[in-house]
Amino acid sequence: MKEKDIMEQAYTFDTVAQYNAFNNQETMHPMVSIVDFSKAHKRTGSRMTFGLYCIFLKEVHCGDLKYGCNNYDYEAGTLVFISPGQVIDVANKTDLYQPMGHGLVFHPDLIKGTSLAKSMGEYSFFNYNTNEALHLSERERKIVFDCFGKIEDELQHGVDKHSRKLIASNIELFLNYCERFYDRQFITRENANKGILEKFEELLNGYFTSAEPQEYGIPTVAYFADKLNLSANYFGDLIKKDTGKTAQEHIQNKLIDLAKEKIFDTSKTINEIAFELGFKYPQHFSRLFKNRVGHTPNEYRNVNLN
């Protein structure tokens, strides 16, 4: 493939073989590959749509992804996670660059019927934005290469009846390590996270002191994540790991606190209070209040005012 053929184009990769060909790799298994990007041809920016799961170990300064990280906690590399259906842009639009780093690419069909298929939805980092990538220490980078090496060894062994189960098990082990690494990253970025938590609280207070609840209803986790330029999954995980409560629980706590204050105003009916807080149906408000407080709004009012 000539360099001109891969410049300024859009690509769709639905099979491992297609992505291997693009990166000048041999296809050893139809549904999974360990990619060495140093073997790929030089290229400029392009848009890529994936029908595959991809984990890229991106070396520093080797073609920044759009919305890419501005600051690196570590210099040993960055892991970026892509799930089927996602689109990424590579920002180098003018100069040719040599891709560097490695990647694990696998088709969704590879894990069907395996234990990994049942737990795949738990790896929320596949739905993080690329600016929420995982920054690795040198030790963590070595673990990543060890996991990649085990998968590559299995590919070298050749395909037999045990291959899919063993490969899926090694991918699951690798993803479990990534969960541990992300937990570490949330801790090492504690100062930055505090700013996000404070801003979340400000946004939460601002929303409920405005007319927005009556106009737009109860805010979602995705609403606040968008305001903070974060993916809903990353924002939710950050809040949960830092406070022990989910972002949804924080929103509901704010609702209940405000509801308790409003219930003491006997000039308003419970239905009016529900609508003021953003509930479309008052019975939903009463159900939430009963679940969280132990009394219905009317019972709470009667107990505290009599």
Task: Please check whether residues 176 and 225 belong to one and the same domain.
Answer: no
Task: Please check whether residues 103 and 246 belong to one and the same domain.
Answer: no
Q: What phi, psi does 50 have (nearest 5°)? A: -115, 135
CATH number at residue 206: 1.10.10.60
Task: Please check whether residues 137 and 217 belong to one and the same domain.
Answer: no
Dist CA 197 CA 217 (whole Å): 22
CA distances from 33 to 165, 228, 265 (A): 15, 35, 64
Q: What pLDDT band is residue 132 in, cutting at 50, 70 and 90? A: confident
Q: What is the DSSP string of the chain?
A: --GGGGSS-EEEE-SHHHHHHHTT---SSTTEEEEEGGGSPPB---EEEESSEEEEEEPTTS-PBTT--SS-S-SS-EEEEE-TT-EEEB---SS-B---EEEEEE-GGGGTTSHHHHHGGG-GGGGS-GGGPEEPPHHHHHHHHHHHHHHHHHHHH---TTHHHHHHHHHHHHHHHHHHHHHHHHHHTHHHHHHHHHHHHHHHHHHHTSSHHHHH-SPPHHHHHHHTT--HHHHHHHHHHHHSS-HHHHHHHHHHHHHHHHHT-TTS-HHHHHHHHT-SSHHHHHHHHHHHHSS-HHHHHHHHH-
Q: What pLDDT band is residue 3 in, cutting at 50, 70 and 90? A: very low
Dist CA 154 CA 162 (whole Å): 10
Task: Please check whether residues 215 and 118 belong to one and the same domain.
Answer: no
Domain boundary among the residues 131, 157, 188 is at 188
pLDDT of 1 reads: 41
What does the pLDDT average to over 247-262? Answer: 95
User: Cα angle vertex 278, ends 263, 260, to 5°?
Assistant: 20
Q: What pLDDT band is residue 93 in, cutting at 50, 70 and 90? A: low
What does the pLDDT average to over 264-286? Answer: 94
Task: Please check whether residues 25 and 142 belong to one and the same domain.
Answer: yes
Task: Please check whether residues 41 and 172 belong to one and the same domain.
Answer: yes
Domain boundary among the residues 188, 214, 233 is at 188
pLDDT of 36 reads: 95
Dist CA 76 CA 124 (whole Å): 23
Closest CA to 105 of 66, 59, 57: 57
| Number of domains within the chain | 2
Asked if 242 and 236 count as a contact pair (C-beta separation under 8 A), the reply is no
Task: Please check whether residues 14 and 70 belong to one and the same domain.
Answer: yes
Task: Please check whether residues 184 and 254 belong to one and the same domain.
Answer: no
pLDDT 10s digits, 190-228 = 776 778 889 999 999 999 999 999 999 999 999 999 999
- Taking all residues of the chain, what is their mean pLDDT, rounded to a whole number? 87
pLDDT of 8 reads: 55
Dist CA 216 CA 53 (whole Å): 36
pLDDT of 91 reads: 64
Can you say how many angstroms the Cα of residue 185 is from the centroid of all Cα atoms in its chain? 14
Task: Please check whether residues 184 and 205 belong to one and the same domain.
Answer: no
Residues in the chain: 306
Task: Please check whether residues 237 and 109 belong to one and the same domain.
Answer: no
Beta pairing class for 47-50 and 10-13: parallel
Task: Please check whether residues 121 and 94 belong to one and the same domain.
Answer: yes
Residue 113 scores a pLDDT above 50: yes
pLDDT of 2 reads: 45
Q: Which domain does 255 fall in, by range?
A: 191-305
Q: What phi, psi does 305 have (nearest 5°)? A: -110, -10
pTM: 0.78
Cα torsion for 199, 204, 208, 211, to the nearest 10°? 60
pLDDT of 192 reads: 67
What does the pLDDT average to over 264-293? Answer: 95
pLDDT of 94 reads: 58
CA distances from 150 to 162, 270, 306 (A): 14, 61, 69
CATH number at residue 125: 2.60.120
Closest CA to 251 of 203, 182, 287: 203
pLDDT 10s digits, 4-60 = 444 458 899 999 999 999 999 999 999 999 999 999 998 877 889 999 999 999 875
Task: Please check whether residues 67 and 165 belong to one and the same domain.
Answer: yes
Domain boundary among the residues 173, 188, 203 is at 188
